Structure 1
Amino acid sequence: MRKSFRAASIATACALAGGALWGTGIATAGTNTDAHGTSASRITEARSGNEPHNIGQLVAEIDAYYGITQDDDGVYRASADSDYAEDVADVLARAKRDIKRQAAAHTRAKGDRPAIVLDIDDTVLLSIDYEKRTNYTYDNATWNAYVERADRPAVFGVPELIDYAEDHGVEVFFLTGLGEDKREAAAENLAEIGVDTELDGEHAFFKDKANPPSYLAHCATAGKWNCTTVQYKAGTRKYIESTGYDIIGSFGDQYSDLEGGYADETYKLPNPTYFVD
């Protein structure tokens, strides 16, 4: 499964929101009986003031943030002049400055080779068409079919960032929560968006729950995967550094992509559509 936890399915979120409101002091209509026994309508005042964000308005805000349009083929796309694209550009501009500085420092020091590590889903490949089609919900079967199509567009500016890093002598690694069985589709999709870099087993790391590598052997006990996203990704970054690299930058759209250490700098790309713990 791609995501360990979705922020909410829309239907479930509505149900949960209703449950959260019930009994928490949110304003409700009721009746009151006066001294003469006459019933009159009344409004119960909110006690907490913590009413959740309206789910319909939230979806509209997400659509607007990405500047979502639908092309003639029915594919939902983000706009290159959206707030989302602007926020991504800000992150990548900072990353390029850091890469230039760090690469130069490594050249002078002649120490471990500099490297960057990138998550794939919504860090390199944008899945907004899937999110929009499913109304920001997740289903394992439809997600797997979507990944196998290998036609996701690039997150704005990320292929250029990868080229920039390589031009400065920085090695590029990919570290994803996608299963090992999705390696071929992901590699095809990355090539489709112009990412021309190594995608072998030592440069592109996919989650293999059935047969984890030795450095992640602790993640599988009695055939059951028991590592969190942070443990899986931090453990893999630790392994990369053990092979002679200094990870100068780690990129992801989830905080769990970035936590756990083994990176000099971290770069969080925006993603308001789901959450992975």
Structure 2
Amino acid sequence: MRKSLRAAAFGAACVVAGAALYGAGAATAGQSTANSTHEPYNIGLLTKDIDTYYGTTVDGNGVYQASPDSPYAKDLAQIDADARRYIARAAHTARAHHQQPAVMFDIDDTLLLSLDYEKRNNYGYSSATWNDYVNRADRPAVFGSPELVQYAHSMGVTVFYNSGLTEAQRDAAVTNLKKVGADVNLDAGHMFLKDKANPPAYLEDCAVPGDWKCTTVQYKAGTRKHIEDDLGYKIIADFGDQYSDLDGGYSGRTYKLPNPTYFVG
């Protein structure tokens, strides 16, 4: 379930953005705050902190973009550097044990940045506006992520994708990923999307045709289990911007990419 910035993500967002939480007893000059209220972090200040973290700018087309020299970009660069070193080692180890190494990538805000959508919708969400945004297929890349896809592929590691996008959004996702340079294994056998009308048999514990009850963790971990147990791969690393992208096992080393704009439980 996706929750907007105006819901449960306040605390996590301000931690990621590097802001101090204005809790009980905190006050500015000339103000007082009751100690018992546990007042949340001010949303106006939080959105400013998020803009600072992303280095948010507006390009010539009026699109909100993250800055390549922002704290966000620097955090991603550290993750990318560590992941490259690890993939090289883990792929070698897997092959030494006669295993076929694979990596898993989420798509939204792991490969394709949705900052423009979040800003324009005041960090809210509706399925209709989100679907229109996705189908435009013009989101920019998350810094370094398409290059990491290509690096894993160059190391002989099989790339899979596991996304909360739907089957109806497949063509747009493929088009957008090609645009940003993540043009690796974009076929249906490697890109797993939600199909609530006809869920795969390996999710039968939580989904049957027309009755989808899978949580994000059940869906994503169940897909990873299928890739390992049924398809015969060894997932050495899993990349996502939400903890629910990574929890549930069958993931190897997990890499949580920063995203202070929404929460998926």
> Normalising by the residue count of structure 1, what TM-score does the alignment of the two structures yield?
0.84
Residue 185 of structure 1 and its aligned partner are, at CA, apart by 0.4
2:215 aligned partner: 228
Q: Which runs of 5+ in 1 are unaligned?
A: 14-24, 28-42
8 Å Cα contact 2:199/2:208 also seen in 1: no
2:155 aligned partner: 168
Structure 1 stretch 190-199 or stretch 116-125: which is displaced more?
Answer: 190-199
Q: Distance in 2 between matches of 1:221 and 1:237?
A: 18
2:115 corresponds to which letter in structure 1? I
Q: From the superposition, tell whether residues 163 and 222 of structure 1 become closer, same or farther in structure 2 (CA, over 3 Å).
A: closer
Say which of 107, 123, 140 aligns to 1:153. 140
Per the alignment, in what secondary structure is the counterpart of residue 264 of structure 2? coil
1:100 aligned partner: 88
Residue 50 of structure 1 and its aligned partner are, at CA, apart by 2.0
2:72 corresponds to which letter in structure 1? Y
2:245 aligned partner: 257
Per the alignment, in what secondary structure is the counterpart of residue 189 of structure 2? coil
Say which of 129, 136, 141 aligns to 1:142. 129
8 Å Cα contact 2:95/2:101 also seen in 1: no
1:8 aligned partner: 6
8 Å Cα contact 2:73/2:143 also seen in 1: yes
Identity %: 58
Q: From the superposition, tell whether residues 52 and 244 of structure 1 become closer, same or farther in structure 2 (CA, over 3 Å).
A: same
2:4 corresponds to which letter in structure 1? R
Q: Distance in 2 between matches of 1:271 and 1:85?
A: 12
Q: Distance in 2 between matches of 1:258 and 1:159?
A: 19
1:186 aligned partner: 173
Point out the structure with max Rg over C-alpha.
1
Residue 198 of structure 1 and its aligned partner are, at CA, apart by 1.3
Residue 221 of structure 1 and its aligned partner are, at CA, apart by 5.0
Q: Distance in 2 between matches of 1:268 and 1:115?
A: 17
Say which of 48, 53, 56 aligns to 2:41. 53
Say which of 112, 115, 126 aligns to 2:113. 126
1:268 aligned partner: 256
1:189 corresponds to which letter in structure 2? N
Residue 9 of structure 1 and its aligned partner are, at CA, apart by 6.0
| Aligned: 1:72 with 2:70 | no
> Normalising by the residue count of structure 2, what TM-score does the alignment of the two structures yield?
0.88
Q: Distance in 2 between matches of 1:45 and 1:265?
A: 43
**1:100-127 CA deviation, whole Å, 9 max, x = no partner?**
1011222333x12000000000000001
Residue 93 of structure 1 and its aligned partner are, at CA, apart by 1.1
1:21 aligned partner: none
Q: From the superposition, tell whether residues 57 and 107 of structure 1 become closer, same or farther in structure 2 (CA, over 3 Å).
A: same
Q: Distance in 2 between matches of 1:62 and 1:45?
A: 24
Aligned length, in residue pairs = 248
Q: From the superposition, tell whether residues 220 and 106 of structure 1 become closer, same or farther in structure 2 (CA, over 3 Å).
A: closer
2:6 corresponds to which letter in structure 1? A
Residue 199 of structure 1 and its aligned partner are, at CA, apart by 1.5
Q: Distance in 1 between matches of 2:135 and 2:262?
A: 20
Q: Which runs of 5+ in 2 are unaligned?
A: 11-23
Large movers: runs of 4+ above 4 Å: none
1:85 corresponds to which letter in structure 2? A
Per the alignment, in what secondary structure is the counterpart of residue 247 of structure 1? strand
Q: Distance in 2 between matches of 1:49 and 1:93?
A: 43
Q: Distance in 2 between matches of 1:178 and 1:152?
A: 14
2:175 corresponds to which letter in structure 1? E
Residue 26 of structure 1 and its aligned partner are, at CA, apart by 7.9
Q: From the superposition, tell whether residues 106 and 139 of structure 1 become closer, same or farther in structure 2 (CA, over 3 Å).
A: same
Q: From the superposition, tell whether residues 149 and 44 of structure 1 become closer, same or farther in structure 2 (CA, over 3 Å).
A: closer
Q: From the superposition, tell whether residues 44 and 186 of structure 1 become closer, same or farther in structure 2 (CA, over 3 Å).
A: closer
Q: Distance in 2 between matches of 1:89 and 1:276?
A: 24
